[in-house]
Structure 1
Amino acid sequence: MGQTGDKELISLIRTSDYTAFEELHQRFWPVLRKLAYRKIGDRQEAYDLVQEMFIELWEKRERLNFGDELNGWLHKRLWFKLSTYFRTKGFREKHLEDFRIYAANEVSAVQFDPMELRDIDAYYEDLLAAINKTVEEMPDRMREVFLLNRNERYSVNEIADKLNLSPKTVRNQLDRAIGRLRKSTETYNPTALELLFIIWLIS
C-alpha cells in the first residue's frame, strides 16, 4: 500500500477501506504531529489534536472533499484544528513568546496586547476557507507550483528543475497565485496583528 497514489488512496478510504486509512495515517501522521507540537508546545495535546483530526476524517470520509493532493489538504485541515484550539484554549505564555519572537523578526517595534490575541475568533476559519477555495480553483500548473513552494518549501529553482520549467515561468506562476489569493481575501480586513498571527499559525 506504501506506493498507493493520493487519488487511489482517497477512493479506497471513501469505500471504507480501513487498510487504506491506516496507510494515510502512517504516511502523514509524523509531519502533522510535529507541526502541531511546534505550534502548541505540548506533546500530549499535539498528539490528541492530530489523533482527533484523523478520527474525524474517518467518520466523515464519505462526504469530505479531499481534493487531489493529500499533503496540502491535510495541512489545511490541521490549520483549522489549530485555529480552533487557540480560540477555545487561548495562548499560554510559551505561545505568546513564540509569536512575540516571530512578530519581532517580521516587523520592527511590534507592540501588542496578549488579551488581543486571546480574542481572535472564527474570523480565521472563514479566511482560511477562502484561501483553500482559491487554491483549489487555480489552474493545475499554478496550483502545483504554489503547493510545491508553500507546502513542500521548494525554492523557485528547485521547482523549475522538478517541473522542467524556467525560473521565470515559476516566478510568474507564483506571482499570479498570490494575486488570486489577495483578490479572494480583499474583503477581509484583519489588523496587522491578526494578519501576522495567521501567517505564524500556518507557517
Structure 2
Amino acid sequence: MVAPSPERHLLNHSLAMALFSWNLHVFQPALALRRLGLYRPATLGERPEAGAPRGGGPDLSLRHAQPVLLPGEPEGYESVRAFDDVAHLYEAVVRPFSDPIVDETVALMRPYLAPSARILDPSAGTGQAAIRLSRLVPEGEVVAADLSRGMLEQAHEGARRAGCGNMAFFQADVARPPAAFAGYFDAIFCCLSF
C-alpha cells in the first residue's frame, strides 16, 4: 500500500473532523430533542405501501460466495482510491457517528421488510450496516455494493467473521449498477454515500 500524500492525508482528516462536528452539533442534539418530544420532523418522505413486500429470498448470495469484482479500475477510479487506502481504518473513524444514523434508518425500515426481503446497500463501505440489515432478513439477502475494492473486501471479511451467509458483494458504481440489479430488490438502504 502506498502512503497517501500529505494533501490527501489532510483531506481525509478534515472530512473525519467535519463529520464528527456535524454529529456533535447537529445530529445528537436533534436526537435528544426528539427523545424529549420537542422535535418532530414534518415529514420523512413518502412512506411505502402498507404491508411488507413478499420478498424473493436469497439468490445472488447463493450464486456468489466471493465478491464480484470489476475486471479493472473503471474510469475516474482515482477519486475512489483514497477509500481503498483507508478501508482498514474506516470503521473506527466513521462508526461513532454513523451508528445512530443507521439505528434510525433500520428502525424506519423494519416494519416494511419481509423476512425474505432482498435489500441493496449501494454504498456499503465496510459493510457494517449491511451486516445489521442481513439479520433483519434471515430468509432473504442483502447485497453490499461499493465502488471501492478495498471497502468491499473489508465488508466481505466482516460478514464472514459475523457468520452472515445471506449476503453477496459486488464492486459496482451506484451510477451504473449491474444489469442483475434491475427490478431485483425490495428495499434500498443508502447511508453516508460520498
Whether the TM-score (by the shorter chain) exceeds 0.5 is: no
TM-score, normalised relative to structure 2: 0.30
Greater fraction of residues in helix = 1
